[in-house]
């Protein structure tokens, strides 16, 4: 009996008893493994005050307090069973990194004791040479530093049987170049803060600090682990490189919001509980459109925190799936022919006083200016936004009539569209901002009515925030959020300068100020209006219309990476990433793209030669048949190998082009043939778990 058939049989025999569940309230579990504000307040007074000021963006951290804080962190961590600490950071891979050290230290007279010193809290020095640097460092220049980021809380992480104190850090080279996702994100936050505060000042809005907010809806697939282990492509690449369309996929639309299967629910509850404990405010769970697909969404938070939390959440989901004999797939497109997974980034801006700046308010210069800034930003930098979500994985998802296409447009909704029209045509009055209020009151219904249109948009206004729907499920949110912050801050500065010039030294009332600013807003809305589209983004007509409007449409991610080194990008990234740092990102993304393609192509070749072909040939021999598909597949496989062998000496850029333009079509060709073979080869001989088994056997 082949391993696949045996695994399928065993799933049927599985012990169905679910683990005991704890019924502790979410609010009680929340943050129990976080060194949160309450604990900071208990530190010696000066140290507490300094750290709290840092958290609120009012002060720099004073290293004089590091020893006191380190000691308190160690005592707290040890009380919870921690033996080790780690500087937790986010290199330019899509994962986090950590190197553990125990608290072990020499005491007097050859004894040992547990210690954690201020300098260990403040700085670490991992060997940076094995992390992607995109040419920022030569291989022999190994020095890289991690520095404590006191703007986020330390936390405890359970793994194996041990507990580790995690110190969130930023990661940079010995020359001070940013080697992580966190540093540019924090710089973009600062830029946005400065621009938004100017607007607050102009409009008399009380605020000491403005930050971006993020609620990341995470989609994922859950499948049985025994089947997962029989799919080397899922194990190594996160997606199936072969797999025939099953007789039943998502066509009955019976999975979306359907009742969650017990086994999956038990998994959800456990990972959610672990998430709550490390301070991730998970709130929403439901079945998604495709069979075996689900979603988890948290309450929104300050973006820098939400980004850390999303990384941690993905880790928790993967590890808890394993505990439940399941596998959690976070790839953008694990299965062809059914929906892929995204990570919708809901983005807005909020003040320290708790005001959501994208909440439409009547006759509000603040709101209209921000709206104009966002429109201008998206229009000006559409290609860069496209690049922010570019990856080999997302290429399988974007434009597949399940996710936004690769053309960037903004969906404003009826009420805002009217307002924009009015400002542009200068006939104030008909649709006063009051109608937005009305629109908002009707929003739940309004959203339900137009959700198909809305769901097809790349970047959609959804009442009081923008939803960046094109982000891929496995992506690190820092890059898209950094770019949104950067381009909005840049546009806002420009618009504010023009408004200031129009107002001059005059002391104006609220209404007069709006009147004076309207021509500036009108000019920018007019220039950027063509990026607004509320129709069906999936339609062929839109592709045509978008081309007529002159909107960029970068279909393949590989062709989007060069946006990082465009002149325009350089200027918008001033103060966030230098030219060298941007160039390094370009190199890293190209290299990552190539490596993923290389792994997937190699996987295909291996699976074809060592599993698919022997099974198909055996079957044909035994049944005395001749299957022409086999001959064709052998030929395509050989062609693919030949192209790959000719690339050995090429640089990454050249390789990327070949993978994108020559290898990818060959991979698709081989896949089609193998998927057809799957439909004719004896079921008992077929080695790879089939889609109907992966998607429906839980």
**Residues contributing to the site for ligand ADP (CB under 6 A):** 213-215, 217, 284, 297-300, 346-348, 356, 464-465
How far apart are alpha carbons 435 and 446 in whole angstroms?
13
Q: Least distance to ligand ADP from the beta carbon of 352, Å?
A: 14
How far apart are alpha carbons 422 and 522 in whole angstroms?
9
Q: What is the DSSP letter of 662?
A: I
Of 217 and 270, the one with the shorter C-beta distance to Mg ion is 217
> Which range of residues in 135-143, 209-217, 267-275, 316-324 is near Mg ion by CB under 5 A?
209-217
The one of Mg ion, ligand ADP, none whose footprint includes residue 346, by CB under 5 to 8 A per kind, is ligand ADP
- The answer to whether 454 and 463 have CB atoms below 8 angstroms apart is no
Of 49, 40, 111, the residue nearest 76 (C-alpha): 40
How far apart are alpha carbons 408 and 203 in whole angstroms?
31
Of 189 and 217, the one with the shorter C-beta distance to Mg ion is 217
> Which range of residues in 40-48, 139-147, 214-222, 424-432 is near Mg ion by CB under 5 A?
214-222
Q: Least distance to Mg ion from the beta carbon of 288, Å?
A: 9
Of 265 and 647, the one with the shorter C-beta distance to ligand ADP is 265
The one of ligand ADP, Mg ion, none whose footprint includes residue 356, by CB under 5 to 8 A per kind, is ligand ADP
Q: Which residue's Cβ has the minimum distance to ligand ADP?
A: 215
Of 103 and 300, the one with the shorter C-beta distance to ligand ADP is 300
Q: Least distance to Mg ion from the beta carbon of 284, Å?
A: 6
Of 652, 373, 594, 396, the residue nearest 490 (C-alpha): 373
Structure tokens at 345: 């980034």
Q: Least distance to Mg ion from the beta carbon of 447, Å?
A: 12
- The answer to whether 565 and 408 have CB atoms below 8 angstroms apart is no
Whole-angstrom CA distances from 690 to 246, 293, 609, 675 are 8, 17, 18, 10
Q: C-alpha 13: how far from its chain's center?
A: 37
> Binding mask 355-394 vs Mg ion (x if CB under 5 A, - otherwise)?
----------------------------------------
How far apart are alpha carbons 486 and 468 in whole angstroms?
15
Of 361 and 464, the one with the shorter C-beta distance to ligand ADP is 464
The one of Mg ion, ligand ADP, none whose footprint includes residue 74, by CB under 5 to 8 A per kind, is none
Q: What angle do CA 144, 96, 591 make, to 5 degrees?
A: 75
Whole-angstrom CA distances from 535 to 107, 445, 451, 452 are 70, 18, 11, 9
The one of Mg ion, ligand ADP, none whose footprint includes residue 458, by CB under 5 to 8 A per kind, is none
Of 226 and 454, the one with the shorter C-beta distance to ligand ADP is 454
Whole-angstrom CA distances from 125 to 87, 146, 148, 437 are 9, 6, 12, 53
Of 398, 405, 395, the residue nearest 538 (C-alpha): 405
Q: Which residue's Cβ has the minimum distance to Mg ion?
A: 217
Of 339 and 563, the one with the shorter C-beta distance to ligand ADP is 339
Of 611, 387, 614, 373, the residue nearest 496 (C-alpha): 373
The one of ligand ADP, Mg ion, none whose footprint includes residue 464, by CB under 5 to 8 A per kind, is ligand ADP
The one of Mg ion, ligand ADP, none whose footprint includes residue 65, by CB under 5 to 8 A per kind, is none
Q: Least distance to ligand ADP from the beta carbon of 293, Å?
A: 13
- The answer to whether 412 and 461 have CB atoms below 8 angstroms apart is yes
Q: What is the DSSP letter of 460?
A: E
Q: How many residues bind Mg ion (CB under 5 A)?
A: 1
Q: Least distance to ligand ADP from the beta carbon of 211, Å?
A: 11
Q: Least distance to Mg ion from the beta carbon of 29, Å?
A: 23
The one of Mg ion, ligand ADP, none whose footprint includes residue 465, by CB under 5 to 8 A per kind, is ligand ADP
Query: Does 467 participate in binding Mg ion (rule CB under 5 A)?
Result: no
Of 284 and 683, the one with the shorter C-beta distance to ligand ADP is 284
- Name the 3-class secondary structure at 589: helix
Q: Least distance to ligand ADP from the beta carbon of 356, Å?
A: 5
Kind of pairing, strands 162-173 and 82-88? parallel
Of 443 and 634, the one with the shorter C-beta distance to ligand ADP is 443
Backbone angles phi, psi at 696, to 5 degrees: -120, -10
Q: Least distance to Mg ion from the beta carbon of 43, Å?
A: 39
With CB under 5 A as the contact rule, the residue among 149, 177, 217, 332 that binds Mg ion is 217
How far apart are alpha carbons 452 and 471 in whole angstroms?
18
Of 217 and 587, the one with the shorter C-beta distance to Mg ion is 217
Q: Least distance to ligand ADP from the beta carbon of 36, Å?
A: 20
Of 217 and 619, the one with the shorter C-beta distance to Mg ion is 217
How far apart are alpha carbons 34 and 301 in whole angstroms?
16
How far apart are alpha carbons 352 and 300 in whole angstroms?
15
Q: Least distance to Mg ion from the beta carbon of 470, Å?
A: 15
> Binding mask 485-524 vs Mg ion (x if CB under 5 A, - otherwise)?
----------------------------------------
Of 457 and 637, the one with the shorter C-beta distance to Mg ion is 457
- The answer to whether 648 and 582 have CB atoms below 8 angstroms apart is no
Q: Least distance to Mg ion from the beta carbon of 26, Å?
A: 18
Of 154, 192, 468, 446, the residue nearest 312 (C-alpha): 154
Which residues are CB-contacts of 360 (< 8 A; sequence separation ≥ 6)?
367, 415, 416, 433, 436, 437, 440, 464
The residue to which tokens 């996710």 are assigned: 403
Interface contacts to Mg ion, rule CB under 5 A: 217
């Amino acid at each position: 009996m082949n391993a696949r058939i045996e695994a399928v049989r065993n799933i049927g025999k599985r012990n169905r008893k679910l683990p005991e569940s704890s019924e502790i309230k979410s609010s009680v579990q929340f943050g129990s493994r976080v060194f949160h504000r309450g604990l900071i307040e208990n530190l010696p007074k000066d140290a507490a005050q300094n750290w709290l000021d840092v958290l609120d963006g009012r002060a720099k951290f004073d290293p004089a307090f590091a020893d006191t804080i380190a000691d308190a962190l160690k005592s707290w961590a040890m009380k919870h069973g921690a033996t080790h600490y780690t500087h937790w950071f986010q290199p330019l891979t899509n994962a986090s990194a950590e190197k553990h050290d125990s608290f072990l230290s020499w005491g007097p007279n050859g004894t040992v004791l547990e210690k954690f010193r201020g300098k260990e809290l403040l700085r670490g020095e991992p060997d940076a040479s094995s992390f992607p640097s995109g040419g920022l460092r030569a291989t022999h220049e190994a020095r890289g530093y991690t520095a404590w980021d006191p703007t986020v809380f330390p936390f405890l992480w359970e793994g194996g049987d041990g507990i580790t104190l995690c110190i969130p850090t930023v990661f940079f080279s010995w020359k001070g170049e940013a080697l992580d996702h966190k540093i540019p994100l924090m710089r973009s936050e600062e830029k946005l803060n400065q621009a938004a505060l100017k607007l607050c000042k102009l409009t008399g809005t009380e605020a000491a600090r403005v930050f971006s907010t993020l609620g990341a809806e995470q989609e994922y697939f859950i499948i049985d682990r025994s089947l997962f282990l029989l799919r080397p492509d899922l194990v190594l690449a996160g997606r199936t490189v072969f797999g025939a369309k099953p007789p039943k996929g998502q066509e009955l639309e019976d999975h979306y919001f359907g009742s969650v299967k017990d086994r999956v629910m038990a998994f959800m509850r456990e990972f959610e509980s672990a998430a709550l404990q490390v301070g991730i405010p998970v709130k929403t769970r439901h079945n998604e459109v495709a069979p075996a697909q689900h979603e988890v969404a948290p309450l929104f938070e300050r973006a820098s925190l939400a980004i850390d939390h999303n990384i941690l959440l993905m880790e928790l989901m993967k590890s808890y799936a394993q505990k439940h004999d399941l596998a959690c797939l976070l790839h953008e497109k694990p299965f062809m022919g059914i929906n892929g997974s995204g990570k919708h980034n809901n983005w807005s801006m909020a003040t320290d006083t708790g005001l959501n700046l994208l909440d439409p308010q009547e006759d509000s210069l603040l709101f209209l200016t921000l709206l104009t800034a966002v429109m201008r930003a998206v229009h000006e930098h559409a290609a860069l936004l496209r690049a922010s979500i570019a990856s080999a994985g997302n290429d399988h998802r974007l434009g597949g009539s399940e996710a936004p296409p690769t053309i960037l447009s903004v969906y404003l909704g009826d009420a805002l569209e009217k307002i924009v029209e009015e400002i542009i045509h200068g006939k104030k009055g008909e649709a006063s901002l009051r109608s937005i209020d009305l629109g908002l009151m009707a929003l739940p219904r309004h959203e339900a009515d137009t959700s198909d249109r809305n769901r097809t948009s790349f970047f959609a206004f959804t009442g009081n925030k923008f939803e960046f729907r094109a982000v891929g499920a496995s992506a690190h949110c820092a890059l898209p959020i950094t770019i949104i912050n950067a381009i909005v801050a840049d546009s806002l500065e420009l618009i504010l300068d023009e408004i200031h010039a129009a107002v001059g030294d005059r002391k104006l009332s609220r209404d007069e100020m709006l009147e004076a600013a309207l021509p500036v807003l009108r000019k920018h809305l007019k220039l950027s209006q063509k990026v607004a589209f509320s129709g069906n983004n999936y339609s062929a007509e839109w592709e045509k219309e978008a081309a007529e409007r002159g909107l960029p449409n970068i279909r393949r991610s590989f062709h989007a990476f060069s946006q990082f080194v465009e002149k325009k990008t350089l200027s918008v990234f001033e103060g966030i990433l230098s030219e060298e740092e941007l160039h390094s990102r370009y190199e890293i993304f190209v290299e990552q793209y190539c490596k993923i393609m290389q792994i997937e192509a190699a996987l295909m070749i291996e699976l074809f030669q060592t599993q698919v072909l022997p099974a198909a040939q055996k079957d044909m021999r035994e049944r005395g048949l001749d299957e022409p598909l086999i001959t064709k597949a052998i030929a395509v496989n050989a062609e693919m190998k030949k192209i790959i062998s000719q690339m050995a000496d090429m640089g990454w850029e050249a390789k990327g082009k070949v993978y994108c333009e020559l290898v990818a079509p060959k991979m698709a060709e081989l896949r089609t043939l193998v998927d057809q073979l799957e439909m004719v080869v004896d079921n008992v001989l077929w080695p790879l778990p089939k889609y109907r088994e992966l998607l429906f056997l839980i």
